[in-house]
Amino acid sequence: MDPVIVETVQEALDRFQNKEVYIHLETTNGAYASHKDEAFFSSGAYIRNAKVVYERAKITGNGPFRTGLKIPFGWVYAEGITHFEIDSKERLLLAGHDFQGKLAVALEISETPFE
């Protein structure tokens, strides 16, 4: 994966606009805060192969970045994006890594379901 290039990611997001796509969205503890207190509970979110059509998408910020997909009844957001890849299957893979290099958030978009 490469560090985010905003223009390249925005172009990739725009290519999927108004198409039926599958998304994978995953967060871990590192997505919003780094907790050093062991008494704090673990948290995360995971959704895979959710079929959506988004009418608008935007990547914003100065890094780490926020990516939003406007769907008919709201938004899908991934915050903390640091890296991206467009793979051989033309899927857009976005990831956010914490200060230790661990995955904190992932947002992936594809015209075909993820395995």
Domain that holds residue 77: 2-35+44-110
pTM exceeds 0.75, yes or no: yes
Please list, residue by residue across 32-62, b when 16 or more beta carbons sit within 10 angstroms of its beta carbon and e when fewer do: eeeeeeeeeeeeeeeeeeeeeebeebebeee
d(CA 16, CA 112): 12
- Provide the pLDDT for residue 96: 95
Q: How far from 2 is each of 19, 73, 81, CA to CA, in Å?
A: 25, 32, 11
Asked if residue 51 is part of any domain, the answer here is yes
Asked if residue 115 is part of any domain, the answer here is no
Asked if residue 30 is part of any domain, the answer here is yes
- For the chain, the domain total comes to 1
CATH number for position 59: 2.70.180.10
- Provide the pLDDT for residue 31: 47
In the 8-state DSSP scheme, what is residue 6?
A: H
Per-10-residue mean pLDDT, the chain, length 115: 97 98 88 51 84 97 96 95 96 93 93 95
Place of tokens 């959710």: 50
Residues 6+ apart with CB under 8 A from 12: 84, 86, 92, 109
- Provide the pLDDT for residue 36: 52
